[in-house]
């Protein structure tokens, strides 16, 4: 978009040139308009969740839920800022034009729960293995003669997205970072400890983005940017709705009230894993439950808009709703960070490796 804008500016400088150039200009504007329209069509899931400021706030508030006993290096001013900065990182990956990265990264930011029905899949029985889930969808496509997801450039049409897997996998990578940090702290060099600490900070930052995304209910629904399909209640179909919820509302009214959100937060707590071993991968089940809670708020959010309560003129109820969502994201993030630290077992493989290294050195 920036490039189109720039082109427009450059052309407007040429306004006093000859008629041939004017003809060229109008032709170019026509092409630009077509290109812009095509971009809008292709950009079905290019909408971002919370804008960068909202993601930073979620991270900042989540850091405040951590106890005094949490590793101190995380809570230095420098690392707090790094974690706030990383809140925007997976969205920066979305800015790339390379289709392979978009194919990999974009669906990690959403989970359109309604799409499961077409595959006859239910949230209660989803596999926590990402590729098993892909196989389940492929099998259903063959059995139910569903359309292949080739209808857009990213080959993701009709795809629910991978947000629950993404959050759980990034959570497990954070657990791994805490696991090897523990071992380096007793058997490693100063450089190894510093590197492992830097990785913990990085992993906390990357995980944060997807947890924050999930707190924006429009990232859990096929109605992610205006209501689609049958619309008996007459909800908005505006293609600006998503960005209004992401940050437009706050920009048009006033910034979120940090104190009001903080009041809704509790100290970070341990997340429980289900007793069944089959469901015991990381925090997949807790993540699914968390996403479904936000999904249940999709219609109430559209209702708020319909009754004018998400507007500049009467913003109180909308503001309260969005505060609650920012709090939900911060709380879940704090809980996941805390649980990853508490639950991380020592990295046994690394222990053996470092013990052998020590023996060789002696
Ligand atoms: Zn995102």
Q: How does pLDDT run across 294-313, given as a tens digit for each residue? A: 999 999 999 999 999 999 99
CA of 50 to the centre of ligand 1 (A): 7
Structure tokens at 41: 């069509």
Calculate how far, in angstroms, residue 221's C-alpha sits from the geometric centre of ligand 1: 14
Ligand 1 centroid distance, CA of 209 (Å) = 6
90 CA → ligand 1 middle, Å: 6
Q: How far is the CA of 128 from the centre of ligand 1 (A)?
A: 21
| Radius of gyration for the alpha carbons in the chain, expressed in angstroms and rounded | 23
**Ligand 1 midpoint to CA 223 (Å):** 16
What is the pLDDT, as a whole number, of residue 49?
A: 72
* CA of residue 152 to ligand 1 center, whole Å: 20
Q: Do residues 65 and 330 lie in contact, with contact meaning Cβ atoms separated by under 8 Å?
A: yes
Q: Is 46-354 a CATH 1.10.575 domain?
A: yes
Phi, psi for 226 (deg, rounded to 5): 95, 150
* Burial call 51-88: b when 16+ CB within 10 Å, e when fewer: bbbbbbbbbbbbbbbbeeebeeebeeeebbebbbebbb
Q: How many residues does the chain have?
A: 362
CA of 4 to the centre of ligand 1 (A): 24
Q: How far is the CA of 317 from the centre of ligand 1 (A)?
A: 25
Q: What is the pLDDT of residue 158?
A: 75
Tell me how far the alpha carbon of residue 213 lies from the centroid of ligand 1, in angstroms. 5
CA of 23 to the centre of ligand 1 (A): 41
What spacing in Å lies between the alpha carbon of 176 and ligand 1's midpoint? 23
Q: What is the pLDDT of residues 201-221, one digit of tens each?
A: 999 999 999 999 999 999 999
| Alpha carbon of 231 to ligand 1 centroid (Å) | 27
CA 85 to CA 126: how far, in whole Å? 33
The mean pLDDT value of the chain amounts to 87
How far apart, in whole angstroms, are the C-alpha atoms of residue 190 and residue 103? 39
CA of 253 to the centre of ligand 1 (A): 23
Distance 107 CA to ligand 1 centre (A): 9
Q: What is the pLDDT of residues 106-156, one digit of tens each?
A: 999 999 999 999 999 999 889 999 999 999 999 998 999 887 777 677 777
Ligand 1 centroid to residue 111 C-alpha, Å: 11
Q: Considering only CA atoms, which of 140, 142, 133, 139 is closest in space to residue 108?
A: 133
Between the CA of 85 and the centroid of ligand 1 the distance, in Å, is 14
Contact 105, 93 (CB under 8 A): yes
Q: What is the DSSP string of 238-280?
A: -TTHHHIIIIIHHHHS----HHHHHTT-----PPPPPSSGGG-
The domain segmentation of the chain, as residue ranges, is 8-41, 46-354
Q: At what angle do helices 190-214 and 163-187 cross, to 10 degrees?
A: 160
Q: What pLDDT is stored for residue 84 in this prediction?
A: 98
C-alpha 179 to ligand 1 mean position (Å): 27
Burial 3-30 (b: 16+ CB within 10 A, else e): eeeeeeeebeeeeeeeeeeeeebeeeee
Q: Which of 3, 25, 5 is nearest to 14 (CA)?
A: 25
pTM of the model: 0.86
What's the pLDDT score for residue 82? 98
* Residues with pLDDT less than 70, the chain: 1-48, 151, 276-280
């Amino acid at each position: 978009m920036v490039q189109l804008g720039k082109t427009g500016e450059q052309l407007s400088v040429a306004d006093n040139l000859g008629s041939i150039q004017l003809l060229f200009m109008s032709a170019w504007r026509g092409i630009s308009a077509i290109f812009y329209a095509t971009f809008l069509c292709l950009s079905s899931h290019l909408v971002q969740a919370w804008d960068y400021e909202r993601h930073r706030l979620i991270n900042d508030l989540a850091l405040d839920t951590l106890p005094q006993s949490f590793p101190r290096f995380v809570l230095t001013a420098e690392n707090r800022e790094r974690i706030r900065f990383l809140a925007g990182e997976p969205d920066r990956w979305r800015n790339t034009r390379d289709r392979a990265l978009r194919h990999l990264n974009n669906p990690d930011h959403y989970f359109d729960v309604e799409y499961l029905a077409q595959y006859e899949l239910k949230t209660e029985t989803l596999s926590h293995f990402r590729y098993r889930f892909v196989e389940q969808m492929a099998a259903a496509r063959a059995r139910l003669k569903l359309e292949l997801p080739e209808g857009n450039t990213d080959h993701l049409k009709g795809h629910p997205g991978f947000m629950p897997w993404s959050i759980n996998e990034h959570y497990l990578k954070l657990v791994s970072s805490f696991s090897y940090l523990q071992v380096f702290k007793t058997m490693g060099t100063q450089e190894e400890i510093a590197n492992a600490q830097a990785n913990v900070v990085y992993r906390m930052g990357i995980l944060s983005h997807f947890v924050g995304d999930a707190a924006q209910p429009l990232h859990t629904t096929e109605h992610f940017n205006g209501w689609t399909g049958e619309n008996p209640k007459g909800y908005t179909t505006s293609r600006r709705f998503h960005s209004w919820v992401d940050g437009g509302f706050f920009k048009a009214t006033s910034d979120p009230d940090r104190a009001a959100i903080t009041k809704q937060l509790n100290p970070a707590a341990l997340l429980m894993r289900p007793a069944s071993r089959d469901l015991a991968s990381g925090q997949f089940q807790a993540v699914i439950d968390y996403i479904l809670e936000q999904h249940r708020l999709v219609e109430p959010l559209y209702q708020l808009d319909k009754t004018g309560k998400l507007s500049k003129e009467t913003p109180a109820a909308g503001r309260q709703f969005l505060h609650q969502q920012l709090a939900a994201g911060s709380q879940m993030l704090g809980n996941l960070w805390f649980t990853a630290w508490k639950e991380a077992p020592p990295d046994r493989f690394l222990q053996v490796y470092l013990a052998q290294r020590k023996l060789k050195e002696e």
